[in-house]
Structure 1
C-alpha cells in the first residue's frame, strides 16, 4: 500500500482479526491527545496491548483527522538502526532513495513536509535512540505531521505526550461475582471472547464466574496473558488453569527482585505455557525462534529437524504449538505460513541461547536462506521470476537475520557476500538500493579485515571460488552506487579497480558486467552511441560464456540506448529478439524493458497511441517487481503522448513527481530525460494556466502509487473499477480456483472465465493471478490467504 490523498487511506494496516475489547475510553483519550500534541507515545509493558490500541486509534483517525493518509511502520523485525528510515520509506510506498543513512530521512521529510498525516511507529523500544532522532527530524520538517509511537519506554524528545497503557480493569476481589456484573468487565469479556474462539460454545456460567474473575486478577489484566490463558480452555477447565497458574506464580517469587510485577507475571505465564508443552514442542519453540517475520513448513523442517527432532515429530510438535496459540498460522495462496509473536519468539530465543545451540541453529538458518537465494538466482530467468521475487520479499526479515549472523560471527563474511549477491537483481528491482549497499559494504569491509588479519583459511588463489564471490560483490556494490547517482569519478575509479581484479584471474563474467556498467554511465551522459557499443561488447562476452539472461539484459539496454539517440531499426530488431526469448522462457522483467524500448521508439516516431500502449504493457510487466525507476520512465512516455490533453498530462506530471520523489526526491533520477520533462512541464503549464495546472498536478502527486498507476493504465483516465461479475471472478481467483473451476462455479463457459480473468488483469495492470489474489485480499483489508484457498493458477 502507499501514500494516501483521500480521507481514510491507510498504509501498512490490515483489518482486525479479533475484536478490541475494553479500550473505548482509551481510544477516545488518545485521539484527543493527538489533536493537540504532535507526538504521542503509548508506553507500557510487553503484552499490555499497545499495538492493538494504536492501530485502532489510527484506523478511526484515518476517517477524518488525516486527509493525507495514515502510515503504519512495524519495527519489531528491524534490528539495524541504519535501516530505520529506509524501512519507513517502504511503508509510505516510497522506493528506497538509493543513498544510505540521513538521505532516507531527508526523503521522508520531503515526502511528508506539506501533508496532514499520521505516522505510527510500532515497537520502538529496541531502536529507541534511532526512533527518537528520526521522529524529531520529521516533526521539525513536516508541521502537519503527527506521530503515534508504541514503546516500552518514552522516546524522550521535546513535545512528547506519554500515554501509559494500563492493563484491563479486573473485577474487584471484594465485589460480587454475578454474571451481569462480570460480563461487563473488560478483562473477563476478553477471556470469554478468546476462549469461545478456541472452544466453540464456551460461555461464562454461574459455576465458573468466580474462578474466571480470580484468574484475570492473577494475570493482572494483561491482554496478552489473558489470551494465552484462554487458549488453554481447549484442554483445561478455568479451575485447572487457575490452579496451575497459582503454582507457577509461587515459583516466580524466587526470580529477579528488580523486574516489574507485570513483567514477572507475563514471564510466569509463558513459563507455564512452556511447561505444558511436550518436550518436542519445547524444542521446536526454541529452534523456531531463529526465524524473523514468519516461515513456511519447508524452511522450518530444513532448519529445525535433525536426529533429535525428526520431520514426523516436528510436524506433530508444530501442530501442538499452533493448537496452543504459541505459533500463529495463516494460509496464503494455498500454502501455510507460520509466525511467532515477538514476546513468544524472544522467550524461545532465550531458551535456545541457554541450551548452547543458538549458533548451530542460526548457521542452519543462514544456510537455508543461502540455498533459497541461490535457487532464486538459478530460476530468475524463467516462468517463476515473479514468484521468486514475491517469495524473497516475504522472507526479507529472514534474509536480514541471515546476513546479520554472517556479520556478527568471525569468518562468516564471505558466506554473507555469497548470500547478498544472489540473485543479482533483487536489490535493484525491489527498491532496496540503500539496504543492498549497506550489507555489501559492511560484509566487504569485514571480509577485507579477515584478509588483512592473515586468516589461514583464506585461499590465496586469485581465481578461486571465494575470490570470485568477493569480486562479484564488489561489482554489484559498484552498480548499486551507479543507480544511487554517486559521482561519476568515484564510480569510474571503483570500476577500474574491479576490472584490474578481474584481470588477475579468469573472471570474464565480472569483466563483462564492468563493461555493462560503463554502458550505464554512458547513458547517464547521454552518450547513447557509446553506450550501445559497450552493451553490444558485453553481450558478446556473455553469450560466449553461455549467460543467456545477462546477454539479453545487455541486448535490451542496447535497444533502449538506440531508441533514445541511435538507430531506430537496430533498436526494433533488438526488441524483437528480447521479446521472443522472453516469451520462450516465460520471463517478465526483460520483456517489460523491451516494451519500454518499443514505447520510446513509438514516441520518437510521433505515434502517441502506440507509445502509450507499449508503455502500459511495460508497466504491467515491471510493476510486480516494484521497479519504480523503469515504471517512471514508462509514465514519462505516456505523459508526452497525452500532451494534447493538457489536464491529463498535468495529472500525469504529478504522478511522475510522486514516482521520482519516491526514488530520491529528485527529478534527476533519470538525468537524460530532464530536458524533455521540463519542456513538457512548461508546455502543459502554459496551456492550462498556473492554477488549473497546479490543481491537476496535486491530484496526481497526492495519491498512492496503486491509485496513480490505476489512473495511468486506465483508458478513460479514471480509476478502473470492476463490474459485479469481474469482482466475483477476482474473489474466486483469490480462493485459488482455476479457470475451469470458476466456469463451473458461475455456470459459464471456460473461455468466458478466461476472458474475464484476462480483462481484470489488464484493468488492474497485473501480470499474474497471484498479484490479483494479493490485491483482492488487500481490498478486503486482510492478509493474503486468510480464506485458506488454494494457490491461484
Structure 2
C-alpha cells in the first residue's frame, strides 16, 4: 500500500525563480499564455539554444492552477523506461505498493488540477507521447506544457515554434548580460553584427557576452568564424547541454538518424532560403536516395533543424547560420564538400540560364521575384566558380546571364562587383568572357562610368572580332550606341544603334535587350526632333512586348510615347502612359525607369495647371537621382523635361514657394514619392479640367489641399 502522501505544496514543483533579467519575447509569451488558456497540450519547439525552456518557465510562473505547476527535466533521462519514474519523482509522489509508476501517476493525479511542464523530451518522444496521451485522457484537471525540439504529434496539440530573437531584442540581451558581468559595451555596429551573425540565438548571444571580459565586440566579431570553439561558458548552474554552443547544437545532431545527419551536412552548402527542388538535385545520391529526400527533410523540419516558410515564390526552407556551420563541419569531415559545392553551383547556373530566357516572357515578374529570393545562393555559386581557375568561365557565364537582374531590378552596384571579378578571372572560354564584358559595359553605362564603360565595350568588340563572334559584336555595338546616347552624341548613337539592330535581325536575336535598343534609337530620334519616327519605333516595341508578355522594356517604350504625347499637348494621354510606365518600373525596382517617369510626370503636372505639385514631384525625383547612378542631369536632352518643368513652376509660384514645394518633395521617401506620383487625382483649380500653364500673371498658382495645409499663412513672394 502507499504509505506516504504526495507533497501537495503548490510551490514545490514550480519553476525556479529567475536570477537574471528576462529580455524580449513579449509577443511569444502572450501567444503561449493564450494557447495554455485554450488547450490542454501545448508544445514549444525550436532549435537548440533558442530559449524554449526559459520562455516556458516564464509562462508557467504566470499560471495559478489549484495544485500548482510542476516541472520535469527529462534531459538527463537516457532510458525510455525511466520516463514515468522521472515524472513521479518530480511530482514528489512516493508509493510503496506494487503499482507501476504509470498507475501511480493516474491514481494520484486523478482529482488534481495542475500544469505539468515536460522539458527536453525530444530524445524520448515516443514514450513521452504515450505517457502524455494517457494522462490527458484520464486526468481532466491536467494541462501539459511540453518543451522540445519537435512536437509530440498528438491530437489536440497546439505547437508554438519559437524563432530566434529579432535584432533589437538580441542586442538588448547581449548588453544586459554584459552589464551583469561588469562590462558596458555600446549599442554599436559591432555588437549588432555579432548578434546578426549568431542568428539572434539567445544561448549564443549570452555565451558571446560572456567573452567580453577578454575581447572587445570588434575582436569577438573577428573570431566568430570559429564560433563553436569561441562560445563556451563556465556557469555551473547552466544545463550541461547549454554550456557550449557546440553541445547545444550537437544534442540535436545526436538525435538525428544517419540519413538525417547526412542531409543536414549537405544542406550546409546552401545560403539563405532554398526550395525542395534544389535540395533534391543537390543533395540526393551517394548514400541518400532521391526518393527519400523529402521524408528526411520533413524529419529535419520536425526536429527544428530546418524552418519552413511561406514566401511569394512558394514554400522555402532555411537553416540558421549556426546550425548550418555545424553541418558544414560534418560535411568537411565526409570529404564530399567539393562535389556538393559543384552540384550547388550547377543548379543555380541552370536556374540563372532559365531565368534569362524566361525574362522575355509573361513570367517576367515571377523571374524577378525568383532571382531576388535566390540571390544568397547565386552569390555563393558565383563565389565558388570565380575562386576555381578551371571553373572561372562558369562564373563569367553566370554573372553575364543575370544582366536583366543587375540592370532591370535595381542591382547595378552588386552586378558591377561580380562582373568586375568575372572579367578579371582567367578563362579560356571566349564566349563566356565576351558576355561578361558587354554586360559589364552595359552596367557601367548605367552607372555613369565614363572610363569603365568604353573600356569594357572596346575590349568586348575587339575580342569578339578576333574570335569571330557576331553576337558579342552586336551587343558591344549596341551598348556603345547607348553610351553615345546618354553622352548627347545623338548622330553617333543613331548610327551605332541602327547597325546593332541590323545585326540582331541578321542573327535572329530577339529579347528585351534587342527591344531596348529600338527604344534607345527612338529616344535618339525624338531628341533630334523626329517625334513621328520615335512614336513608330516605340509602338512597334509596344506591340512585340505585348505579344510576348514583356513588361520591363515596354515601360521605357511607354515613357517615350508619353514624351511625344506631352510634346503634342495631349497631357491626359501622357499621364496615363507615365502612370503605367512608373508602375512597372517601380515593381521591378528599376530606379532609372522610375525617376525618368517621375520627372516627366512633374512636367505633365505643371502643364495641367498644378505647379506646386509639379515642384513636389521634382523634389522627390531629385532625392532619387543620387541612387540611380547614371548622371543624366548632365545630358541636355534627358534633362530637358526637368528644366522645362522648373521654368514653368518657378514662373507660376515664384522662387520662394517653388523652393518650398521642392523641399517638401525631397522629404518624401522613394516609396511615398512613387505612391504620390501614381495616386494623385488629376484635379484642376475649381474642379475644371486641367490646362497648360500660361505665362499670364496669376494663372497656374493652384496648390493641392495637402500642400496648402503645410503652407499655413505663407503668402507668395
Specify if TM > 0.5.
yes
State whether structure 2 residue 447 is matched by structure 1 residue 484.
Answer: yes
Of the three residues 397, 404, 414, the one matched with 1:425 is 404
Cα separation, partners in 2 of 1:351 and 1:698, compared to 1, 3 Å: farther
Give distance in 2, aligned partners of 1:434 and 1:684: 34
Cα separation, partners in 2 of 1:647 and 1:594, compared to 1, 3 Å: same
Whichever of the two has the greater Rg, that structure is 2
Give distance in 2, aligned partners of 1:190 and 1:388: 51
Tell me the secondary structure at the aligned position of residue 259 of structure 1: coil
Give distance in 2, aligned partners of 1:447 and 1:520: 28
Which residue is equivalent to 1:242? none
Q: Judge conservation of contact 2:437–2:459 (CA < 8 Å) in 1.
A: no
State whether structure 2 residue 260 is matched by structure 1 residue 260.
Answer: no
Q: CA deviation at 1:688?
A: 2.7
Unaligned residue ranges in structure 1 (runs of 5+) = 1-21, 28-48, 57-164, 193-204, 217-226, 238-254, 449-457, 459-465, 719-793
State whether structure 2 residue 504 is matched by structure 1 residue 542.
Answer: yes
Cα separation, partners in 2 of 1:55 and 1:573, compared to 1, 3 Å: farther
Which residue is equivalent to 2:148? 230
Aligned length: 504
Of the three residues 346, 353, 356, the one matched with 1:377 is 356
Q: Deviations over 1:230-279 (max 9, x none)?
A: 33352799xxxxxxxxxxxxxxxxx9698334874332121111111122
Give distance in 1, aligned partners of 2:502 and 2:303: 59
Of the three residues 378, 403, 420, the one matched with 1:399 is 378
Cα separation, partners in 2 of 1:264 and 1:356, compared to 1, 3 Å: farther
Q: For 1:549-588, what aligned pairs fall within 5 Å after superposition?
A: 549=511, 550-588=513-551
Of the three residues 697, 706, 712, the one matched with 2:677 is 712
Q: Judge conservation of contact 2:487–2:635 (CA < 8 Å) in 1.
A: no
Of the three residues 603, 609, 615, the one matched with 2:572 is 609
TM-score normalised by the chain length of structure 2: 0.63
State whether structure 2 residue 556 is matched by structure 1 residue 593.
Answer: yes
Which residue is equivalent to 2:633? 668
Q: For 1:79-228, what aligned pairs fall within 5 Å after superposition?
A: 180=61, 207=91
Q: Judge conservation of contact 2:72–2:116 (CA < 8 Å) in 1.
A: no
Which residue is equivalent to 1:653? 618
Q: CA deviation at 1:428?
A: 0.6
Q: CA deviation at 1:329?
A: 0.7
Q: Deviations over 1:503-522 (max 9, x none)?
A: 11221111111211221122
Unaligned residue ranges in structure 2 (runs of 5+) = 1-17, 30-48, 74-88, 93-113, 122-144, 158-227, 236-241, 684-717
Q: Judge conservation of contact 2:70–2:91 (CA < 8 Å) in 1.
A: no
Cα separation, partners in 2 of 1:346 and 1:668, compared to 1, 3 Å: farther
Q: Deviations over 1:201-249 (max 9, x none)?
A: xxxx984999959879xxxxxxxxxx99633352799xxxxxxxxxxxx
Q: For 1:449-460, what aligned pairs fall within 5 Å after superposition?
A: 458=428
Which residue is equivalent to 1:343? 322
Give distance in 2, aligned partners of 1:349 and 1:419: 25
Q: Deviations over 1:15-54 (max 9, x none)?
A: xxxxxxx999787xxxxxxxxxxxxxxxxxxxxx8xx899
TM-score normalised by the chain length of structure 1: 0.57
Which residue is equivalent to 2:594? 631
Cα separation, partners in 2 of 1:589 and 1:340, compared to 1, 3 Å: same
Greater relative contact order, per chain length (Cα 8 Å cut-off, separation 6+): 1
Q: CA deviation at 1:672?
A: 3.7
Give distance in 1, aligned partners of 2:630 and 2:91: 65
Cα separation, partners in 2 of 1:190 and 1:551, compared to 1, 3 Å: farther
State whether structure 2 residue 487 is matched by structure 1 residue 514.
Answer: no
Q: Deviations over 1:172-198 (max 9, x none)?
A: xxxx999657889xxx99999xxxxxx
Q: Judge conservation of contact 2:231–2:244 (CA < 8 Å) in 1.
A: no
Cα separation, partners in 2 of 1:311 and 1:703, compared to 1, 3 Å: farther
Give distance in 2, aligned partners of 1:689 and 1:191: 77
Cα separation, partners in 2 of 1:703 and 1:230, compared to 1, 3 Å: farther
Tell me the secondary structure at the aligned position of residue 642 of structure 1: helix
Q: Judge conservation of contact 2:448–2:630 (CA < 8 Å) in 1.
A: no
Q: Deviations over 1:127-183 (max 9, x none)?
A: xxxxxxxxxxxxxxxxxxxxxxxxxxxxxxxxxxxxxx9989969xxxx99965788
Q: CA deviation at 1:332?
A: 3.0
Give distance in 2, aligned partners of 1:648 and 1:191: 67
Tell me the secondary structure at the aligned position of residue 331 of structure 1: strand
Of the three residues 366, 371, 374, the one matched with 1:387 is 366
Give distance in 2, aligned partners of 1:522 and 1:444: 23
Tell me the secondary structure at the aligned position of residue 244 of structure 2: helix
